[in-house]
Structure 1
């Protein structure tokens, strides 16, 4: 594990990749600011991280609330100057036979796009003052091309991926690193709800190790697993006529909203 991070903020840390990252980084000398929306699950993560020796602050938050997030990031930074902020909180929605509803689409965009901005904007502001820091944005392998089974999810993850790629260059002079994370299928509450085969499904603990390695090396894009990278690269470059026939065979997700802290 990298020892360069002594104060880490992770949103969506009550399950999935967010919880795995919190547990991975938990050790003596590390201060963790973890947040989520489920008190019971977040408490379990908090207890595990404390047992590992970390100094832990756990809060129930709504990342779609801009003012709440600005106050939260500022408060955390005042306790311990932030070295790493992971904007991980996100949701998906099952498409079912009727596709995503308009309300679902707006909720996904508000959480996955506005929620990321609400997390990283105040973090960038305080990191600019200290002239150092690192921002990690959770995107997805689903960001590379729009899939009819999850239009809003794909669009939201594409938006934050492109934004992160651009932000990386614009913050170089401020000595702030920006990294975009694009996982494939990782075991979480979202994937638990899927009733179809998920290729290369990975444990969240393994995903956390891969993410840390990429962050430590300051990789612009941390995309994994490599097999999924190959598949999505092929889909990305398929002509539309062929792509439409391929994705028409994809199974629909269960028609209900699922909270997630990961892909």
Structure 2
């Protein structure tokens, strides 16, 4: 039996990275987990890892393209028919595309907003009413510390995550007292297939397993925002307090864009 407050969890973007590691961490502690992603093969690999490791919780794959209209409604209908409405949902699917000033184009901005923001809103549109009808539930949305302030090459990515943070804050205000809890997850640099694309040294880079442990700790806390790693998160938070001119000078120097 799980020592966690959830019997069934659902994680999108669970084939790799933080989603995969969190699914395994939940199953290790006895929680059943539905793992979603666009491709079946990575999801099945997560299932096989759980079986081979003898984890107490069961992991089941559910292929899902979060950007397809109606996909969340169809997926949730399947989940409720075959299992039940999940106690915990982690909307973790997301993508990244670095864009320098010379490469600036509206297309990456639209593409990243579609996955990192609008797809999450589509999930919330379906999940929040269902959990409100039941009178309880927990949803966590993966944003990023990059959403705190504008960073070089992240005009598209950071903006999509900033929009998500803002939306979650707005919704949580109204969700108070409904029995449904919304949290935002703001990771720093976590070693995943996405961050493997980065061409710069990533400060305080942590493993997906370390991120999953921090995430589970945050999910069982009373905090709205779950952020990690701790020192890098504090540093990023401090940047929000700087006057704009000082911030721009420091970031330009610190990131080598002088």
Q: Who is 2:63 aligned against? A: 60
| Partner in structure 2 of residue 46 of structure 1 | 47
Structure 2 residue aligned with 1:86 = 90
SS at match of 1:43: helix
What's the secondary structure of 1:90's corresponding residue?
Answer: coil
Q: Report if aligned partners of 1:85, 1:120 keep a CA contact under 8 Å in 2.
A: no
Alignment map for 1:14-163 (pairs within 5 Å): 14-27=15-28, 30-51=31-52, 52-78=55-81, 79-96=83-100, 98-163=102-167
Note the residue ranges of structure 1 that are not aligned, 5 or more in a row.
253-263
Unaligned runs of 5+ in 2: none
Q: How many residues align?
A: 252
Label 1:232 to 1:2 Cα distance change in 2 as closer, same or farther (>3 A): farther
Q: CA deviation at 1:230?
A: 2.5
Whole-Å Cα distance in 1 between the matches of residues 80 and 127 of structure 2? 8
SS of alignment partner, residue 240 of structure 2: helix
More relative contact order, 1 or 2 (CA 8 Å, 6+ apart): 1
Aligned equivalent of 1:215, options 192, 198, 219? 219
Per the normalisation by structure 2, the TM-score is: 0.90
CA deviations 1:63-92 (Å, max 9, x no partner) are: 112301111123213322210010100001
C-alpha contact 2:186 2:228 (8 A) present in aligned 1:
yes
SS across alignment from 1:42: helix
4+ aligned runs moved over 6 Å, structure 1:
none
When structure 1 is superposed on structure 2, of 43-52 and 125-134 the one drifting more is 43-52
TM normalised by structure 1 equals 0.89
| Counterparts of 1:31 and 1:62, CA distance in 2 | 21
- CA separation in 1, counterparts of 2:120 and 2:13? 11
Deviating more after overlay: 180-189 vs 30-39: 30-39
Going from structure 1 to structure 2, the CA distance change for 1:60 and 1:76 (only over 3 Å counts) comes to same
| Separation in structure 1 between the aligned mates of residue 256 and residue 59 of structure 2, nearest angstrom | 41
Query: Contact 1:73/1:119 (CA < 8 Å) preserved in 2?
Result: no
Instruction: Note if contact 2:132-2:180 (Cα within 8 Å) is conserved in structure 1.
Output: yes
Compute the RMSD of aligned alpha carbons.
1.9
Give the Cα separation in 2 of the matches to 1:2 and 1:210.
Answer: 17
The structural deviation recorded for 1:172 is: 2.1
Q: Are the aligned partners of 2:3 and 2:29 in contact in 1 as well (CA < 8 Å)?
A: no
Distance 1:214 1:155, change over 3 A: same
